[in-house]
Amino acid sequence: MLPFARVTIIGLGLIGSSVARAVRTQMPTVRLTGHDGDPEVLATADRLQLCDDIADSAGTAVIDADFVILCVPVGAMAAVAEAIRADLPADAIVSDVGSCKEEVARVLVEELPGAIIVPAHPVAGTERSGPEAGFATLFQGRWCIVTPIAGMPEAATERVCEFWRRLGANIDLMAPDHHDRVLAVTSHLPHLIAYTIVGTASDLEEVTQSEVIKYSAGGFRDFTRIAASDPTMWRDVFLSNREAVLDMLQRFSEDLSQLQRAIRWGKGDELFDLFTRTRAVRRSIIEQGQDDPAPDFGRAHE
């Protein structure tokens, strides 16, 4: 049996539109309703026929739903929760896809007293945003981390897990604070490093902009993919997961200083040992199906 019959998606950008497309493919009998705060996104969603119904307000969108999934930036969760509060059916389950879980869970519980809430985070995405960037297979073989809130019905958690399984995801259950520490190191810190290095290179005075672009295949261009990610989404992530990110950043700065010393004092063995360990990490990611084994990220070479 399908976990839900009437699904409402609020926020029809990369993730929301991918959920819509995946539901269409994997659970075609589900009645899909969508809403987005941006009229242009609504018009695009309508043109692409992402949902059965497009609602012009968040409240109208949830009136008949048995599952409501919030796919807006983390900083917009409170406003959306407030906007659906009066119209949310008592037995509907509310979830989200936000990249930070502790603050989002707190905000949803505060804004939706008495509602059944099961936060989740599909660890899948690209550097693009908007409804045209989504695709139905985005969650296939990726992990979705579900972070249940104490006191909420277990059956609701199981239905949300089943929803994501149907979209092709593997499920892990985690405490929200643990999720935020894990993602701080696997996602948030890498984004911060990429934003920094791309910013630094574009501010350098002794290397021209055209040289930075021309010689980017030396490694720089791989950072620019991550640094092209949506500014609103990532501003909200760093503000929401502040403590965990600052902790990981402290640890990273210490490790960077150690590398700096190794280079200064010519400690080649230290560098070699680290680079050997990091190469093994890449191998494990490929072995576990979390990236393509093709060299150079599968870029075509003549």
List of residues contacting ligand NAP (CB under 6 A): 10-16, 36-38, 41, 71-74, 76, 79-80, 97-99, 121-122, 125, 129-130, 230, 233, 237
Helix (H) or strand (E) segment spanning residue 93: strand 93-96
Tokens of 240: 């929401």
Burial class (CB in 10 A: 0-12, 13-18, 19+), 84: buried
Give min distance, CB of 72 to ligand NAP, in A: 4
Instruction: Tell me whether residue 3 or residue 13 sits nearer to ligand NAP (CB atom).
Output: 13
170-173 and 143-146 strand pairing: parallel
Rounded to the nearest whole angstrom, what is the least distance from the CB of residue 18 to ligand NAP in the complex?
A: 8
User: Are 15 and 22 a contacting pair, CB within 8 Å?
Assistant: no
Angle of helix 189-203 relative to helix 220-227, nearest 10 degrees, comes to 120
Nearer to ligand NAP, 170 or 262 (CB): 170
For ligand NAP, give the closer residue by CB, 50 or 156. 50
Smallest separation (angstroms) from ligand NAP to the CB of 171: 15
Please report how close the Cβ of residue 130 comes to ligand NAP at its closest, in angstroms. Answer: 5
DSSP assignment letter at 148: P
Query: Using CB atoms within 10 A of its CB, is residue 1 exposed (0-12), middle (13-18) or buried (19+)?
Result: exposed
Cβ nearer to ligand NAP, comparing 8 with 201: 8
CA distance 183 to 2: 30
Smallest gap from Cβ 24 to ligand NAP, in A, equals 17
Residue 136 or 201 with smaller CB distance to ligand NAP: 136
